[in-house]
C-alpha cells in the first residue's frame, strides 16, 4: 500500500537522512504541509485500530494521487519496467473494493492475489504484508470500508513487454515471495517481536533499504543491506553497516524521535523519508515507536571498519574552493566545524550519511535542498535551501567533496560529472 516500486520506504532512510545529506524530497516547504489532526475515535474501536494500522502501513501515500481523493487511487509509480497506477481502495461497488469481503482482502494481503484471483504486481508489497495477522487485516479492511466511497475507475498499468504479461509473475514469486505470517522469535522479548512485526510487515522498511535485482526482487538474507532505489536515483542506506547507517550506537530515544518527529539530535529526515514520516510514522504510538527502535537497533551489524579520513585524496585547489563555498553558504547553519545545531540543523562532521560510498544523497541535497516534514512533535521544521541555481557543477562537486572529507570525514571526492548527472535527474 505504499510506494511499491521501492520509491519510499517504510521506516526507511534513517541513515540516509542523518545530518542534511539526505534523500531528495520534492521542494515542498513545511508551511505547505497541513498536519492532520489525530483521530478522536477511541483506539479500542476496530475501525479506529484499522485506521491506525493503515497509518503504519502508509496506505494513503500510494493510493492517493496528488490532489486526489483519499484512497481513490491513480497515483503513478514509476518503475524500471514502466508505470504502475495504484488502484481505488475506497468502498465503491463499481470502481473500488466495495464488493470485497474480509476474506478477499486478507487473501490479497496474504497471497498477493486480487478478488478475481489475479496475481498482483509486487509494487503492492505483499511480500511484506503476508506477515500481517488476520486480525490486523480485518481491522484495516473495516477501516477502508468506513471511508467515503469514490467512483473513480482504475487506470491500466503502462508496462513494457514482456513485463505486462502477468503470467511472468509466477517466476518472480518463486524467486522472491515466501507466503506466511510473522513468527515470533521466542528468544527475544515481546517488545522486540512487536517491533520486528511492524518493521518487517506493515512498515515494509526492507523494500527501500534492500538492494534489488534486475527483476525487481530481493532476498531475505540481504534485508536492510542498502542499495539504489530503482528508477529513482536515490540511495537507501544499509541499516546494519557501520559505514552507512547502522543504528547500534544510537540511543533508543534518538531513533524514536526521528521516527515520530522527523528530527532528533542525531539526524533529520528529508526526501522520501520525510513523506513517510509525515503520512505514517508521526502517528505511531510511543510503545510501537520504541518497539520498532529496539528491533532496528538490534539488526546485526556487518562490522566493517569505519571510514578513514580522505582529505589527502583531494587536490588542494578543490579543497580550498569547497571550503570557501561552505563558509559562504553552509557554515551559518552547520557551523564552521560542521558540528551543526541539532536538532534544527544537523551536524555534518562525523556523519555516517555524509561518508557513505555513494555520494548521491549528499549531492542531491545540495542541488535541491529539502524540508523535514511538519509533524505533531515538530510542527515548524527548518529546511535546507536548494543551490542548483547558485552553483555550477564544479562548485557543487567542490563543496560536496569538502563536506565529505573535512573534519576527519571518510567520504570520497565528488566529480563535476557526478554533479551534472544528478542535476539532470532533478530537472526531469
Instruction: Give the CATH number of the domain where residue 202 resides.
Output: 1.10.760
Whichever domain contains 348, its CATH number is 1.10.760.10
Exposed (0-12), middle (13-18) or buried (19+): which is 303, by Cβ within 10 Å? exposed
Evaluate if residue 187 carries a pLDDT over 60.
yes
pLDDT tens-place string over residues 280-292: 999 999 999 999 9
Give the total number of structural domains in the chain: 3
Residue that is last in its domain, among 279, 303, 327: 303
Residue that is last in its domain, among 251, 272, 303: 303
Domain annotation covers residue 236 = yes
Q: Which of 122-126, 169-173, 235-239, 384-388 has the lowest mean pLDDT?
A: 235-239
Check whether residue 285 and residue 352 sit in a common domain: no
Do strands 158-159 and 227-229 pair parallel, antiparallel, or not at all (unpaired)?
unpaired
Check whether residue 257 and residue 337 sit in a common domain: no
pLDDT confidence band for 26 (50 / 70 / 90): very low
**pLDDT value at residue 387:** 96
Check whether residue 150 and residue 253 sit in a common domain: no
Give the Cα separation of 334 and 322 in Å (integer).
Answer: 14
Check whether residue 47 and residue 81 sit in a common domain: yes
Domain annotation covers residue 94 = yes
**pLDDT value at residue 29:** 39
Evaluate if residue 13 carries a pLDDT over 50.
no
Give the Cα separation of 179 and 307 in Å (integer).
Answer: 39
**pLDDT value at residue 167:** 82
Evaluate if residue 11 carries a pLDDT over 70.
no
Residue that is last in its domain, among 270, 285, 303: 303
pLDDT confidence band for 316 (50 / 70 / 90): confident
Domain annotation covers residue 138 = yes
Exposed (0-12), middle (13-18) or buried (19+): which is 323, by Cβ within 10 Å? middle
Domain annotation covers residue 3 = no
Residue 205 or 200, more confident = 200
User: What average pLDDT does range 197-225 have in this prediction?
Assistant: 74
**pLDDT value at residue 44:** 59
Give the Cα separation of 205 and 402 in Å (integer).
Answer: 31
Q: Which of 135-144, 154-163, 267-276 has the lowest mean pLDDT?
A: 267-276
**pLDDT value at residue 230:** 63
Angle at which helices 102-111 and 134-146 pack, to 10 degrees?
120
**pLDDT value at residue 265:** 82
Domain annotation covers residue 177 = yes
- The answer to whether the beta carbons of residues 38 and 283 sit under 8 Å apart is yes
User: How many helices and strands, by DSSP H and E, does the chain display?
Assistant: 16, 7
**pLDDT value at residue 166:** 86
Mean pLDDT (the chain, rounded) = 83
Domain annotation covers residue 123 = yes
pLDDT confidence band for 145 (50 / 70 / 90): very high
Evaluate if residue 18 carries a pLDDT over 50.
no
Give the Cα separation of 363 and 409 in Å (integer).
Answer: 16
- The answer to whether the beta carbons of residues 226 and 244 sit under 8 Å apart is yes
**pLDDT value at residue 38:** 46
Evaluate if residue 12 carries a pLDDT over 80.
no
**pLDDT value at residue 22:** 33
Residue 2 or 247, more confident = 247
**pLDDT value at residue 42:** 44
Check whether residue 166 and residue 259 sit in a common domain: no
The C-alpha cell of 307 is what?
571510514
Q: Which of 98-112, 126-140, 244-258, 284-298 has the lowest mean pLDDT?
A: 244-258
Domain annotation covers residue 13 = no
Q: Give the rounded percent of residues in the chain with a pLDDT score beyond 70.
A: 81
Paired with 85 in beta bridges are 76
Query: Greatest CA separation found in the chain?
Result: 68
Check whether residue 156 and residue 278 sit in a common domain: no
Check whether residue 173 and residue 195 sit in a common domain: no
**pLDDT value at residue 21:** 31
Domain annotation covers residue 275 = yes
Quick one: the chain helix, strand, coil %, rounded to 5?
Answer: 40, 5, 55
Check whether residue 197 and residue 172 sit in a common domain: no
pLDDT confidence band for 217 (50 / 70 / 90): low
Check whether residue 176 and residue 192 sit in a common domain: no
**pLDDT value at residue 31:** 39
**pLDDT value at residue 348:** 92
Give the Cα separation of 398 and 404 in Å (integer).
Answer: 10
pLDDT tens-place string over residues 323-381: 999 999 999 999 999 999 888 888 899 887 788 888 988 999 999 888 888 999 999 88
Domain containing 193 equals 186-303
Q: Measuring CA to CA, how many Å separate 116 from each of 1, 98, 139, 360? A: 19, 14, 22, 42
Q: Give the rounded percent of residues in the chain with a pLDDT score beyond 90.
A: 51
Q: What is the CA radius of gyration of the chain?
A: 21
Check whether residue 64 and residue 139 sit in a common domain: yes
Evaluate if residue 274 carries a pLDDT over 90.
no
pLDDT confidence band for 220 (50 / 70 / 90): low
- The answer to whether the beta carbons of residues 270 and 370 sit under 8 Å apart is yes
Q: Which of 34-48, 310-324, 409-423 has the lowest mean pLDDT?
A: 34-48
User: What average pLDDT does range 371-399 have in this prediction?
Assistant: 92
Check whether residue 158 and residue 34 sit in a common domain: yes
Check whether residue 105 and residue 172 sit in a common domain: yes
Residue 161 or 21, more confident = 161
- The answer to whether the beta carbons of residues 205 and 9 sit under 8 Å apart is yes
Amino acid at each position: 500500500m505504499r510506494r511499491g516500486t521501492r520509491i519510499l520506504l517504510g521506516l526507511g532512510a534513517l541513515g540516509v537522512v542523518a545530518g542534511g545529506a539526505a534523500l531528495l524530497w520534492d521542494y515542498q516547504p513545511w508551511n505547505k504541509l497541513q498536519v492532520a489532526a489525530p483521530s478522536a475515535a477511541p483506539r479500542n474501536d476496530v475501525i479506529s485500530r484499522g485506521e491506525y494500522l493503515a497509518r503504519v502501513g502508509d496506505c494513503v501515500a500510494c493510493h492517493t494521487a496528488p490532489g486526489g481523493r483519499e484512497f481513490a487511487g491513480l497515483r503513478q509509480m514509476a518503475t524500471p519496467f514502466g508505470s504502475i497506477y495504484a488502484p481505488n481502495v475506497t468502498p465503491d461497488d463499481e470502481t473500488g473494493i466495495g464488493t470485497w469481503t474480509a476474506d478477499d482482502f486478507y487473501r490479497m494481503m496474504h497471497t498477493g492475489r486480487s478478488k478475481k484471483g489475479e496475481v498482483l504486481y509486487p509494487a503492492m508489497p505483499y511480500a511484506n504484508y503476508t506477515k500481517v495477522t488476520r486480525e490486523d487485516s480485518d481491522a484495516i479492511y473495516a477501516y477502508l470500508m468506513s471511508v467515503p466511497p469514490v467512483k473513480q475507475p482504475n487506470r491500466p498499468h503502462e508496462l513494457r513487454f514482456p513485463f505486462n504479461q502477468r503470467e511472468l509473475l509466477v517466476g518472480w514469486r518463486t524467486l522472491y515471495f515466501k507466503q506466511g505470517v510473522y513468527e515470533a522469535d521466542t528468544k527475544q522479548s515481546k517488545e522486540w517481536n512487536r517491533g520486528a512485526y511492524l518493521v518487517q510487515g506493515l512498515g515494509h522498511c526492507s523494500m527501500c533499504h534492500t538492494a534489488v535485482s534486475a527483476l525487481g526482487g530481493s532476498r531475505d538474507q540481504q534485508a536492510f543491506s542498502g542499495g539504489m532505489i530503482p528508477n529513482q536515483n536515490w540511495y537507501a542506506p544499509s541499516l546494519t553497516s557501520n559505514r552507512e547507517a547502522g543504528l547500534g550506537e544510537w540511543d533508543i530515544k534518538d531513533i524514536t524521535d526521528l521516527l515520530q518527529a522527523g528530527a532528533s539530535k542525531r539526524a533529520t529526515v528529508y526526501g522520501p523519508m520525510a513523506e513517510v514520516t509525515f503520512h505514517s510514522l508521526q502517528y505511531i504510538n510511543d510503545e510501537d515507536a520504541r518497539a520498532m527502535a529496539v528491533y532496528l537497533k538490534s539488526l546485526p551489524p556487518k562490522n566493517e571498519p569505519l571510514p578513514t579520513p580522505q582529505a589527502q585524496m583531494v587536490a588542494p585547489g578543490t579543497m580550498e574552493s569547497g571550503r570557501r563555498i561552505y563558509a559562504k553558504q553552509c557554515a551559518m547553519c552547520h557551523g564552521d566545524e560542521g558540528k551543526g545545531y541539532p536538532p534544527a540543523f544537523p551536524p555534518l562532521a562525523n556523519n555516517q550519511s555524509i561518508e557513505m560510498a555513494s555520494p548521491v544523497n549528499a549531492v542531491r541535497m545540495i542541488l535541491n535542498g529539502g524540508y523535514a516534514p511538519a509533524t505533531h512533535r515538530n510542527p515548524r521544521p527548518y529546511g535546507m535551501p536548494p543551490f542548483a541555481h547558485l552553483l555550477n557543477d564544479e562548485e557543487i562537486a567542490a563543496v560536496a567533496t569538502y563536506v565529505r572529507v573535512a573534519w576527519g570525514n571518510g567520504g570520497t571526492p565528488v566529480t563535476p560529472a557526478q554533479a551534472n548527472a544528478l542535476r539532470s535527474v532533478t530537472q526531469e
